[in-house]
Amino acid sequence: MQLTVRNHMRELRKRRRIRVAAMADELKISASMIYSLERDPVTPNLELAYRIAHYFDMAVEQVFEPVFNDRLSAA
């Protein structure tokens, strides 16, 4: 089973009209980290994922949606 993660940070931030700089300041991370999380296939560590979810007042799974693929990957 493979796990991929759909990241909803950008949509949430845009919908709430939150600027990257403001979010970065609040989370005590760099703006480039937020851009990286939003654009690249990067998943944050568990602590940061919880901090981001708390920032949006949402569950981690709502911000970082797990998608399970039942197909086994070739070993």
The predicted model scores a pTM of 0.83
User: Is there a contact between 12 and 69 (Cβ–Cβ < 8 Å)?
Assistant: no
Question: How many beta carbons lie within 10 A of that of residue 37, not counting itself?
Answer: 20
What pLDDT does residue 66 have? 86
What are the residue ranges spanned by the domains of the chain? 2-69
User: Which residues, in sequence order, are CB contacts of 4 under 8 Å at separation 6+?
Assistant: 66, 67, 69
Question: Domain 2-69 belongs to what architecture?
Answer: Orthogonal Bundle (1.10)
Sequence letter at residue 6? R
What pLDDT does residue 25 have? 97
User: Is there a contact between 75 and 69 (Cβ–Cβ < 8 Å)?
Assistant: no
* pLDDT tens column, 7-65: 999 999 999 999 999 999 999 999 999 999 998 777 889 999 999 999 999 999 999 98
What pLDDT does residue 74 have? 56
Rounded Cα gap, residues 38 and 69, in angstroms: 22
